[in-house]
Amino acid sequence: MSPRSHALLDLDPAVVRRARSLARKAGKPVVDLATAHTTVSVERATLRLAGLTGADHDGTPWVNHLVDAVRAEVGLEHGVTTPVWDALRRDAAPDLLTLAQKASSGGVTFRLPDGKDATAARKAARKDVAAGVRTLDRQHAARDRFVRKVGDAPRTPWIYLIVATGDIHEDIPQARAAAHAGADVIAVIRSTGQSLLDFVPEGATREGYAGTYATQENFRLMRAALDETSRELGRYVRLTNYASGLCMPEIAVLAGLERLDMMLNDSMYGILFRDINPIRTFVDQRFSRQVHARAGIIINTGEDNYLTTADAVEAAHTVTVSQLLNEYFAKEAGLEDWQLGLGHAFEIDPEVPQSFRLELAHALLARQLFPKAPLKWMPPTKHMTGDVFRGYLLDGFFNLVGAMTGQGILLVGMMTEAVVTPWISDRDLALQNVRYVMDAAGGLTEDFHPPRDGFVQTRAREVLDEAVGLLEGIVSDTSAKGSTYPQPLLAAIADGTFGAMKRPPTAGKGLDGVAVKADDYDNPAITLLEEGSTR
């Protein structure tokens, strides 16, 4: 991304400060809500950090069995680690795996210890979980060393390309071919519906649907293949997957353990587009982002999805509001600017007059509001018609906006969008489109200076003002007072403010997996991540 693209809009600094202040006011009560709750997935992720892996003969992970057994006997509100390590200290089993196996058949009794027994159990749990956090640290350091050794992508934006056949062993050659053709980031789309599974599948998978299952073994296989490709190319090829859905914290942990580089991780995507309970989502996303922060993983947020269900002009300010909220939630969880792949998209109807200029204004606004973030710029999808020639032209315009506004991560558009799952040849043509535009116009940020009161400047200020107005409305809304969950942001989500989707906090998938923390709640993973320590 070009630093010269960061000051092209004459935005009022006071308005920008006001926008961020309002985002904090809207987000802080939700953070307080998240820190007061835990979920089954947070507890399972903690056990994964302690080394518990594997699944039974039916494919149910042992972490699910163990958390379910503890929850059935003593509840989730105290955290699972104290009763689990108390059972280990009482010689209920020699190790975590055996304990989980015995618990799955009712062969273990759990209790809530007190006094010295509780202190000893917590100390033992912290020691074992710390080993997993140290692995995150080692993988973070290993990435940095590898990038220094083989070299980084020679230019920005990073070119981001999707592969996913359903079969990890088919994905690998496609990913390697894409990297050789110029892709800097390989994203493996998850199998349709995985976000709604309340367990993480085990092992290498060969039968996904419109995508490939996210599993630890699939992560390991693809990372190893792309490491080999990185050595061949003399530049580091990054790997992306999805930390979203009901198992967001667990997938974040697995990504950190296997050295993935980016993860899709939006604060509201699962709520709006998968009908996952809002409280479950906010609790899970905070923990997952703490893991990403520690592992040095860049998150990609999902604001582009709003524009597939709402009009891209009328709802442009909701994208800005979501970006500001995602920034607040991410930084509160420990992520740094360089890890904030905030999302936006080229989704205005091409029939709208001046659509290209509007796209320029929206992209430049995002770029200037978040000058240090590697923004993720998404190609047209909603208005792709199946006319591949028109689609190829739209993708070229999308690439040109990316060049003119200095985007950080550019997802390659496909002219066969809305027709078929792209062939390798389609991807090759799409990469040629990107390379041509970037080679021919990559320096346009030096020359592009929209006039002070021209169309682009005026539109950008208009969207920012509308975003501030929406945030003011959210923060001042008192309609939720007296309800079970009085947070104004939750009320706004319930009202359909984002993506035209109405999602109340008392409904949605996964609500039964949420628990209010007791006074004696303990989770060594959260403690270690917040302390920045593995002692």
Half-sphere exposure of 247 (CA within 13 A, CB side): 25
Among residues 387, 385, 383, the alpha carbon closest in space to that of 398 is found at: 383
Find all residues with CB under 8 Å of 219, minimum gap 6, and list them: 239, 241, 254, 255, 258, 260
Among residues 376, 375, 380, 358, the alpha carbon closest in space to that of 460 is found at: 358
Specify whether 304 is catalytic.
yes
Among residues 185, 82, 188, the alpha carbon closest in space to that of 129 is found at: 82
Q: How many Å apart are CA 252 and CA 262, to the nearest integer?
A: 10
Q: How many Å apart are CA 268 and CA 27, to the nearest integer?
A: 12
- Find the length of the chain: 535
CB 329 within 8 A of CB 286: yes
The one catalytic residue in 269, 306, 328, 392 is 269
The strand pair at 409-411 and 376-378 is best described as: parallel
What distance lies between CA 61 and its chain's CA centroid? 23
Exposed, middle or buried, 352 (CB in 10 Å: 0-12/13-18/19+)?
Answer: middle
**CA 409, 412, 413 angle in degrees (round to 5)?**
135
Among residues 198, 192, 196, the alpha carbon closest in space to that of 63 is found at: 198
Specify whether 242 is catalytic.
no
Find all residues with CB under 8 Å of 57, minimum gap 6, and list them: none
End-to-end CA distance of the chain: 38
Specify whether 392 is catalytic.
no
Among residues 353, 360, 313, 342, the alpha carbon closest in space to that of 463 is found at: 313
CA 491, 497, 498, 499 torsion: positive or negative? Answer: positive
Residue 262 in 3-state DSSP?
A: strand
The one catalytic residue in 171, 184, 376, 522 is 376
Task: Tokens 């997996």: give the residue.
Answer: 513
CA-based Rg of the chain, rounded to a whole angstrom?
Answer: 23
Residue 378 in 3-state DSSP?
A: strand
Q: How many Å apart are CA 295 and CA 260, to the nearest integer?
A: 9
The one catalytic residue in 184, 304, 395, 522 is 304
CB 212 within 8 A of CB 190: yes
Cis peptide before 353 (omega within 30 of 0): no
What distance lies between CA 307 and its chain's CA centroid? 18
Q: How many Å apart are CA 36 and CA 282, to the nearest integer?
A: 11
Measured from the Cβ of residue 222, the count of other Cβ atoms closer than 10 Å reads 24
What distance lies between CA 86 and its chain's CA centroid? 34
Catalytic center residues: 269, 304, 376
